[in-house]
Amino acid sequence: MSERSEKIREAIRINAAEFLMRESNRQSLITVTGAAVSDNLKRAMVFITVLPDSHETAALGLANRKVRDFREFLRERVKLGVLPRIEFVIDRGEKNRQRLDELSDN
């Protein structure tokens, strides 16, 4: 990964966490666990986890409905020529790691 794409990925991750903290209704905890950008920097995925799990669908829906607002939020804070198309997704890897931790504690 190039230094530029790494900086963009990190900027998206940090700003997504701040944005979701402001936008969420506080009925669930939304955590940004990472971000990924395509090689051509035209697409980005923001990985999130949600607690409690029962609020996962609602939180993901909120995040994806607010993508346009997030892009504006990001545009104001990060100087990029063209912003990538952004999608929020549930971080299944993190969920699997948490489950393994629970199982190993028993």
Domain boundaries, the chain: 3-105
Which of the four CATH numbers 3.30.300.20, 3.60.150.10, 3.50.50.60, 3.40.50.300 does domain 3-105 have?
Answer: 3.30.300.20
Q: Which two tokens stand for residue 54?
A: 């029962």
Q: Which of 55, 66, 67 is nearest to 30 (CA)?
A: 55
6 to 9, 11, 35, 53, 101: CA distances (angstroms) = 5, 9, 10, 30, 29
Helix (H, G, I), strand (E, B) or coil at 48: strand
Q: In this predicted model, what pLDDT tens digit does every residue of 1-31 receive, in sequence order?
A: 689 899 999 999 999 999 999 998 888 999 9
Q: What is the pLDDT of residues 23-70, one digit of tens each?
A: 988 889 999 999 999 999 999 999 999 999 999 999 999 999 999 999
